[in-house]
Structure 1
Amino acid sequence: MEQEFRIRSYSKLELAILYNPSMSIPSALRTLSRWIAANHRLCEELAMLNYNPRNRIFTPRQVQAIVTYLGEP
């Protein structure tokens, strides 16, 4: 039984693995970072939410923005 996705704080690693469960950890992290960088509207919204690519934790509001633009993992 799949668990329902909840909007909460996630580490970058957790979220990357949720979006790319069959990839290695480094590949999953790179892929999520590429998806974010390729979506200019998402980048703009994350910037307004004080996102810094060096941060290791996404806030619930940042996770909501990511889900809005990329869909649920």
Structure 2
Amino acid sequence: MKPELIPDEGADRPFVIRPYRKAEFAQLYFPDLTPRCALRKLHRWIERSDALRRALYEEGPEGRNEQTFSRRQVELLVRHFDEP
């Protein structure tokens, strides 16, 4: 008798644009890394694009040191990097 495969429920859910804690959002892109390492890597990606960095932190009310990405920031990141 073959074992029954259990589908990964997370794979069927569509990505939702909403506010995310920064580490949580980073782990969507880098699920195999710790939250801290994933966040560092995402910040390196952001720093490589001056236009994206300005749009995230200088063109809106959100600050660089906030603990979350706003819905607006998530939309910008997904537009720039594609869905996680």
- TM-score greater than 0.5 by the shorter chain: yes
Query: With CA pairs under 8 Å and 6+ residues apart, which has the higher RCO, 1 or 2?
Result: 1
Q: Counterparts of 1:37 and 1:10 in 2: how far apart (Å)? A: 19
Superposed CA RMSD: 1.2
Structure 1: unaligned runs, 5 residues or longer: none
Q: Counterparts of 2:18 and 2:39 in 1: how far apart (Å)? A: 19
Deviations 1:29-69 (A, max 9, x none): 10011111111111121120233221111110110001111
Stretches of 4+ moved more than 2 A in 1? 50-53
Matched, 1:19 2:29: yes
What is the CA distance between 1:28 and its match in structure 2?
Answer: 0.4
Number of the residue aligned with 2:71: 60
Structure 2: unaligned runs, 5 residues or longer: 1-8
Q: 1:4 aligns with which of 7, 11, 14?
A: 14
Q: 2:39 aligns with which of 29, 32, 37?
A: 29
Q: Tell me the TM-score normalised to structure 2 length.
A: 0.79
Aligned residues: 73
Higher helix share: 1
Q: Tell me the TM-score normalised to structure 1 length.
A: 0.89
Structure 1 stretch 25-34 or stretch 43-52: which is displaced more?
A: 43-52
When Rg is computed on C-alpha atoms for both structures, the one with the higher figure is 2
